[in-house]
A and B are shown apart, each in its own frame.
Chain A
């Protein structure tokens, strides 16, 4: 099974600051990686797929990069609505399996 490791577990930042979230795969997943945002009490929302493609309606301040085993989600300037938990997901072996990282919480400093 491919293990996804996200870092840091918690990121404490102020509105307007840049957020950089990391996701590492235990083996190469190519560009088969997605990022999701989950706010408290809500379902996850797709932000990024294919490592760097923004989903429909996602603000341009969100960007994804990386391939193989190292991936990054960047929020260029944090807005109040961006404080949430972010998960990466690999789907390189889809449909047989897929795995999520444990999440990074972006909180207000």
Chain B
């Protein structure tokens, strides 16, 4: 069974940093592309970032230069390093498997709140 478990969400002040993690199991993580998708409170879904199995990374314009996606294939874990956080980054952050663009499996999400 595919499982994705996000962690690291917290309350952080504007301008602060946070690192999210997503522990994967039930599939060959090292061979899979994975993504972060976020959802602001009461709003729709917004793609944030993706990383391919062989390393290339991609970002939404809204986070480029502030967020960094990475992976540790030895630990089947995906990361999202977030810096210069803004109020508009407040959201539930989901990690999801990605196959040619579609997201077959999703974690339950972790809440990031940016507020003073």
Contact = CB atoms under 8 A, between A and B. Distances in A.
A pairs with B = yes
Secondary structure at the A interface, as helix, strand, loop or mixed, is: loop
Contacts of A96: 58
Interface string B45-60: 1110010100010101
A44 B44 contact: no
A43 B45 contact: no
Contact of A43 (B52, B101, B107): B107
Interface string A4-20: 00000000000000000
A100 interface: yes
A46 B44 contact: no
A99 B102 contact: no
Contacts of B45: 36, 38, 44, 87, 89, 100, 103
29 contacts: A1-B61, A32-B101, A36-B103, A43-B106, A43-B108, A43-B109, A44-B37, A44-B94, A44-B103, A46-B105, A49-B102, A50-B102, A55-B104, A87-B44, A87-B45, A89-B45, A91-B100, A91-B101, A91-B102, A92-B101, A95-B56, A96-B58, A98-B47, A98-B101, A100-B45, A100-B46, A100-B47, A102-B44, A103-B45
B33 interface: yes
Nearest to A45: B106
B9 to A, nearest CB: 14
Contacts, number: 62
Interface string B67-108: 000000000000000000000000000100010111111111
A34 interface: yes
A95 B107 CA distance: 20
Interface in A1-59: 1, 32, 34, 36, 38, 42-46, 49-50, 55
